[in-house]
Chains A and B, each alone.
Chain A
Amino acid sequence: MKKVLAIAGIVVKELYRRKDFYVLFIITVLLSLVMASVNFFNDDKIVRYLKELCLLLIWIASLVIAITTAARQIPAEREQRTLLPLLAKPVSRSQVLLGKFAGCWLACGGTLVCFYLFFGLLAMSREHSWPLLNYVQAMTLHWMLLGIVIAFVLFGSLVFAAPSSNTTISFVLVLSILVLGRHLNKVALQFSEPGRTITYTIYYLIPHLELFDVRDLIIHNWPLIPWQYWAAALAYGGFFSALFIWLGCWAFQRKPVN
């Protein structure tokens, strides 16, 4: 565990030394503040459009940070020729991958805390309320989604030839699942066999990332998600993260590192 955390620490340091997070955070803040300054019918309590925009920017920024950070971890180690010296130490390939995953995931968690803190302050300035538990649910679900995405991208970085192709494929897949995942069953029912069975099988096999997207509940002030459902979603996310990490470890064991 110590070895995993040591590698994770390096990844976290790498993220806060890079400019990605700062740039995306400043863009999010600036755009949100510009939109907040728009006057609609002299009413200063209108807030939901602002929450929607801010959450959209947070989601885009977090996905960009998670995917680009995870995609370059293993290829960068290989390009800089630091992977072999690292593996020469008493650390296994699985521990390296777990460390990379933990580092990326923790770093994303840190950025999410900053983003959601800003979001909460922005919403509070108009709504004068602080639904902390709702924000905690939304943020933890968001963080779990990023865990699945990071695990998948790390696995992809061992399968795909270049970080650019891995990044592009990951973005396309994540966005497709977020947009279509919930509706794939309805689409399947429109098809005749064997298309219906194939589509329904895909529906059951894919990680349903849209479960973790509860922006609409936050924007429109819906009540809390029942805690047992929230916990089940986290367990579901944990299962897929573990699956992709295991696949990544399996691929890493078979991959020549020189």
Chain B
Amino acid sequence: MRSPLLITLLLVSACFSLAVVIEPRLAYAKVYQRHDKSAIEVILGEARRLFATHFYTKADVYFHSGFYPSIFDEATERDAHMATDAGAVQEKHEHDANFLGQPLDWIDRFSRAFFPSSHTHLDAGGARAVEKHDGHGREEDHDLGESGDVREILPWLKITADLDPNRIETYTVGAYWLRTRMNKPKEAEEFLRQGLKANPGNYAILFELGRIYFESYKDLPRARNVWEAALQRWNQQEASKKPDTFLRLQITSNLALLEEQTGNKQKAINYLEMAKNVSPHPEAVQKRIDELNTR
């Protein structure tokens, strides 16, 4: 009777000893290390970037109060208007103000009263700015309403950032609207710092961070430091490939403005010279340089 009990105890002891030896080794084994990522990364893998794109588009859909082309309407490449309006990206394509065109049939004409069929932007009042009278697209501009409605795009941008932390536009667009329309520079700064953590030294995020210090906090020395860091990063990151001149133009123009405000005329001119090299309208920049020289 005692023998089976002893054998059981021996087996349990052996199992426990084996577990104590093996478990710490397995915990550091390569197969377990890959689970060191966030739950979203583990579950979705690279597919999360597809979802991120979907939610980024969703934010733009909200920016247009639901008026957005479907895959059946989309014939040309589009810019996200919430991004072009925020100055986060350069507008490369024409605004397709009415992708719906003329109604194809009576059902098409009739159905337009039942879904958003006018082009509006949330920062200009969104759907409140349009009073539809007869459902045929006749519009009247009214009070622009509360342009803070643009806050509605923010949840989608937050989700996009969580799903794809390397999508830079998400941070710059979100921070722009938080800072300018919602008067939340602190939250904008936190969002940008989250972006910087995921994308160390990114010049676009640094530039947007500088705008917060310059425009919201009026902290000119800090803004200068951040923008100079942005310019330095731009030189490092963009020199070897097709350069993003749009951001360089913005950084140098803003640095010139800052130096002008702080009385450093020569530095301002230097930055304007840099801006002139990448500006689509160099003559306008030259005019500003001449103005500064004559002062």
B116 near A222: Cβ-Cβ < 8 Å: yes
Give the complex CA separation of A216 and B130 in angstroms: 15
> A-side binding surface: helix, strand, loop or mixed?
helix
B215 within 8 A of A: no
B128 near A186: Cβ-Cβ < 8 Å: no
Which of B132, B152, B184, B191 is within 8 Å of A49, CB to CB? Answer: B152
A226 near B134: Cβ-Cβ < 8 Å: yes
The interface on chain B, measured as residues whose beta carbon lies within 8 A of the other chain's beta carbons, has a size of: 37
B287 within 8 A of A: no
B66 near A211: Cβ-Cβ < 8 Å: no
Give the complex CA separation of A222 and B130 in angstroms: 8
A124 within 8 A of B: no
**B residues near A60, Cβ cutoff 8 Å:** none
B110 near A229: Cβ-Cβ < 8 Å: yes
A208 within 8 A of B: yes
Give the complex CA separation of A225 and B110 in angstroms: 11
Given contacts A41-B151, A41-B178, A210-B111, 10 further A-B contacts (CB under 8 A): A40-B158, A43-B187, A48-B152, A182-B111, A185-B108, A186-B72, A186-B104, A216-B115, A222-B130, A222-B132
**B residues near A216, Cβ cutoff 8 Å:** 66, 115-116
Give the complex CA separation of A221 and B133 in angstroms: 15
Give the complex CA separation of A187 and B73 in angstroms: 10
Assess A40 versus B111: contact at CB under 8 Å? Given A186-B104, A225-B135.
Answer: no
Give 19 pairs: A residue, B residue, CB < 8 Å, sorted on A: A38-B155, A40-B155, A41-B151, A41-B184, A43-B184, A46-B152, A47-B152, A49-B152, A183-B73, A186-B72, A186-B104, A211-B114, A213-B115, A217-B116, A219-B66, A220-B66, A221-B126, A221-B127, A229-B135
Give the complex CA separation of A211 and B114 in angstroms: 6
A88 within 8 A of B: no
Within 8 A of B (CB), among A200-239: 203-204, 208, 210-214, 216-217, 219-223, 225-226, 229, 232-233
CB distance from B104 to the nearest CB of A (A): 5
**A residues near B182, Cβ cutoff 8 Å:** 41, 43
Give the complex CA separation of A227 and B126 in angstroms: 22
B131 within 8 A of A: yes
**A residues near B184, Cβ cutoff 8 Å:** 41-43
Flag A171-213 by CB within 8 Å of B: 1 or 0 each. 0000000000011011101000000000000011000101111
Give the complex CA separation of A41 and B174 in angstroms: 10
Flag A21-42 by CB within 8 Å of B: 1 or 0 each. 0000000000000000010111
The interface on chain A, measured as residues whose beta carbon lies within 8 A of the other chain's beta carbons, has a size of: 37
Residue among A49, A214, A222 with the highest chain B CB neighbour number at 10 A: A222
B105 within 8 A of A: yes
A45 within 8 A of B: yes
A186 near B110: Cβ-Cβ < 8 Å: no
Within 8 A of B (CB), among A124-153: 141
Closest 9 CB pairs of A and B: A216-B66, A220-B65, A183-B72, A229-B113, A222-B127, A41-B187, A48-B152, A49-B155, A220-B66
